[in-house]
Structures are given as C-alpha cells and as structure tokens.
C-alpha cells in the first residue's frame, strides 16, 4: 500500500474516533468536602449542551439524567447552537426542570455560532466571533418554567432537602457580560451551602468569587479542551484559566481556606469543531461530604 494511502486511512480512522468520542456521553461522579449541614446533598452539574436539530442522541441522553434523582441541578450555560434550539433545550431538560435548579447563560445562548477556521478553537484565548442573535428570552422562559433561578449577575436562594442554599452568579465573562460587583459581599447568615456559578471561568471572576469564600464555584465553557494529549493535558481552555484546570475539580486560593472549583467538560462540543479526544462529553454528579 502506498504511504499516502496509509496516511489517509490513518487520518480518516482518527477523525472517526474523535467524532465518536464526542457522542460518548458519560456521567462522572465526584465527592467534594462541604459544610456539615450540606453533607449528602447531590448536585447534578450540566453545561455546554450546544444543541442543534441533529443532536437527537444528546437530547435523549440529557433527558435520561432524570434517573439520577439529584437534589439540585446547576446548568452553567451554552444551551444552544442553532436558531431553532429552544424547543430542543425544552425536550432535553423537560424531565429535569421540576428538580430545584439554577442556571447562567453562555455566549452561545445569545449569538449563533459563526464559521471560522476550526483549529482556531485550539488557540489560547480564542476570541468569540459573534453570529446572528438567538432567542435568548425564549430560552430563559423555558429554563425558568419549572422554577429554576437565573443567576446572570444575580443572587438567589433555594431550600433543598431541608438545606438552605444560597447562590450567586455572573453573566458570561467571555463576552464581558460579567458584573460580579453587583452580587459581591457577605452571604446571608442563615445560608447553609453557598454556591457561585459562572459560564466562562476567567481569572477575574474566579478571584472575585473566591474573595467572598463560597463553598464551591461551578463553571463550564472550556469543554475540557475537547482535544487532550493523553496522560498530559488539554491544549486550551478558551479563556485565561490554566490548562491543568480545564476540567474537573481543582482548588482556588482564598483568604480563609481554598475553594473548590468544578469545571464541567460539557455535554456538547463547539459545532465548528465537533470532535473530542481523551475528553468525553459529560455531566457530573457532585456529592457533598
Ligand atoms: Fe460551550
């Protein structure tokens, strides 16, 4: 066989694997130290669904997460990837919307994806190229239909399993919609679990959040880098977060004690770059211990 033929077949095989891995949805389970009152609370963290009409398997998988029976759902943005995505988001989340939940939006919930060089995704601090406006208000109506709280530059409180949980969040820092100052400051004295949520985990947001000592910070946006060098690291976080924190649990230095940061690798992918390697699409069940 000619070397070029071998090369071509290897490249096609590799591409096929990466396309398949992008559809190999996984539920990851982790434990995180939390306040005594919150021990046993189970939080389902979902992020970056990036739904488009051809994502029928992804929609089914997200809907199937109802069987997890989480106490609380935190959705950290980028639900849409298409002008007609709102009914798709509704179908995917319908079984989950009656569970107590909170959400923030990502840049892809405001603007449709716009084609560019797919490999630009792997660049550091890859700037967002904004496409046509999306039906953001319609999306918010669906997300709030069962009682989920919107946390874009907002605070909120929910009582879950007898635990008073306080939340604060920001708009997406990737398109400069973050205004942490508007939610900063002391937490309520009666809150027993304090959760901060943002879409893109930029350093300025994480620093401001950790100065107020939440019990955990939850974020998405990175997709875990989508492509990782096996056993080494992701190539990008698509923001100024170090690549070693591209997905999963890490710790942020804070005045009193370090704060856990959980970054979801996301359920979907960039529609412009729909492949994954060494970084399966995920939702995460976080149990406080
Ligand atoms: Fe995303």
Q: How far apart are the CA of 212 and the centre of ligand 1, in A?
A: 26
Q: How distant is the alpha carbon of residue 205 from its chain centre?
A: 15
CA of 191 to the centre of ligand 1 (A): 30
Residue with token string 């205004």? 179
| pLDDT of 231 strictly over 80 | no
Q: HSE on the CB side for 154, CA within 13 Å?
A: 11
* Rounded distance from Cα 268 to ligand 1 centre (Å): 7
Instruction: Report residue 235 CA to chain centroid gap.
Output: 18
Q: How far is the CA of 109 from the centre of ligand 1 (A)?
A: 9
User: 115 exposed, middle or buried (CB, 10 Å; 0-12, 13-18, 19+)?
Assistant: exposed
131 vs 65, more confident: 65
pLDDT at position 19: 87
Both structure tokens of 9: 């077949």
Expressed in angstroms and rounded, the spacing between residue 123 Cα and the centre of ligand 1 is 15
Count the residues in the chain. Answer: 289
The pLDDT assigned to 116 comes to 66
Ligand 1 centroid to Cα of residue 219, in Å, is 11
CA 164 to CA 193: how far, in whole Å? 7
Ion ligand 1 nearby residues (CB, 5 A): 48, 78
Q: What is the pLDDT of residues 16-47, one digit of tens each?
A: 888 888 889 999 999 999 999 999 999 999 99
Q: What pLDDT does residue 230 have?
A: 74
Q: How confident is the model at residue 212 (pLDDT cuts 50, 70, 90)?
A: very high
**Can you tell me which residue has the tokens 């350093």?**
203
Rounded mean pLDDT, 118-141: 79
Domain boundaries, the chain: 3-288
pLDDT of residue 219: 98
Residue 48 Cα to ligand 1 middle (Å) = 4
Tokens describing residue 270:
């960039």
Rounded to the nearest whole angstrom, what is the distance from the C-alpha of residue 106 to the centroid of ligand 1?
Answer: 7
Given a cut of 60, whether residue 124 has pLDDT beyond it is no
Q: How far apart are the first and last CA of the chain?
A: 57
Contact yes or no for 233/243 (Cβ under 8 A): yes
pLDDT of residue 16: 83
Question: Which residue's entry shows tokens 């669904």?
Answer: 49
Q: What's the CA-to-centroid distance between 120 and ligand 1, angstroms?
A: 15
* Residue carrying the six token digits 């970054």: 263
3-288 sits in which CATH class?
alpha beta
| C-alpha angle 169-170-173 in degrees, rounded to nearest 5 | 145
What's the mean pLDDT in 197-220? 97
Distance of alpha carbon 45 from alpha carbon 286, whole angstroms:
7
Map residue 37 onto helix, strand or coil. Answer: helix
Measured at the CA of 26, the angle between CA 22 and CA 29, to 5 degrees, comes to 145
What's the pLDDT tens digit per position in 167-199? 999 999 999 999 999 999 999 999 999 999 999
Residue 179 sits at φ, ψ, to 5 deg, of -145, 70
Q: Beta strands of 201-281 (E only): which ranges?
A: 216-219, 228-229, 233-234, 248-252, 259-263
Maximal C-alpha separation, the chain: 72
Residue 126's pLDDT band, with cuts at 50, 70 and 90, is: low
CA of 185 to the centre of ligand 1 (A): 29
pLDDT attached to residue 15: 82
pLDDT of residue 11: 75
Per-residue pLDDT band for 12 (boundaries 50, 70, 90) equals confident
Between the alpha carbon of residue 234 and those of residues 141, 194, 203, 266, the distances in Å are: 35, 29, 18, 14
pLDDT over 90 (residue 127) = no
Determine the Cα–Cα distance for residues 13 and 58; give it in Å rounded to an integer. 23
DSSP assignments along 208-229, one per residue: HHHHT--SEEEE-SSGGGSBEE
Mean pLDDT over the full length of the chain: 93
Given a cut of 60, whether residue 125 has pLDDT beyond it is no
Ligand 1 centroid to residue 118 C-alpha, Å: 14
- Provide the pLDDT for residue 233: 85
Report d(CA 88, CA 80) in Å as an integer: 9
What's the CA-to-centroid distance between 78 and ligand 1, angstroms?
5
């Amino acid at each position: 066989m000619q070397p070029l033929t071998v090369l071509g077949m290897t490249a096609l095989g590799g591409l096929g694997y990466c396309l398949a891995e992008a559809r190999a949805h996984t539920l990851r389970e982790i434990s995180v130290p939390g306040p005594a009152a919150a021990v046993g609370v189970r939080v389902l963290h979902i992020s970056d669904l990036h739904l488009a009409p051809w994502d029928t398997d992804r929609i089914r998988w997200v809907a199937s997460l109802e069987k997890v029976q989480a106490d609380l759902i935190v959705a950290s943005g980028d639900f849409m990837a298409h002008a007609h995505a709102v009914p798709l988001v509704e179908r995917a989340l319908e079984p989950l919307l009656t569970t107590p939940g909170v959400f923030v939006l990502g840049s892809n919930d405001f603007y449709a994806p716009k084609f560019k060089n797919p490999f630009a995704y792997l660049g550091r601090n890859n700037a967002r190229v904004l496409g046509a406006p999306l039906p953001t208000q319609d999306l918010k109506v669906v997300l709030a239909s069962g009682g989920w709280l919107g946390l874009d530059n907002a605070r909120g409180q929910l009582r879950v399993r007898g635990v008073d949980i306080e939340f604060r969040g920001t708009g997406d820092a990737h398109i400069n919609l973050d205004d942490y100052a508007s939610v900063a400051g002391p937490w309520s004295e009666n809150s027993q679990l304090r959760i901060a949520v943002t879409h893109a985990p930029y350093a300025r947001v994480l620093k401001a959040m950790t100065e107020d000592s939440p019990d955990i910070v939850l974020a998405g946006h990175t997709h875990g880098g989508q492509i990782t060098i096996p056993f080494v690291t992701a190539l990008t976080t698509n923001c100024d977060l170090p690549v070693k924190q591209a997905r999963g649990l890490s710790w942020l230095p804070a005045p009193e004690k370090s704060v856990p940061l959980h970054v979801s690798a996301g359920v979907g992918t960039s529609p412009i770059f729909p492949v994954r390697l060494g970084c399966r699409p995920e939702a995460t069940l976080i149990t406080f211990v």
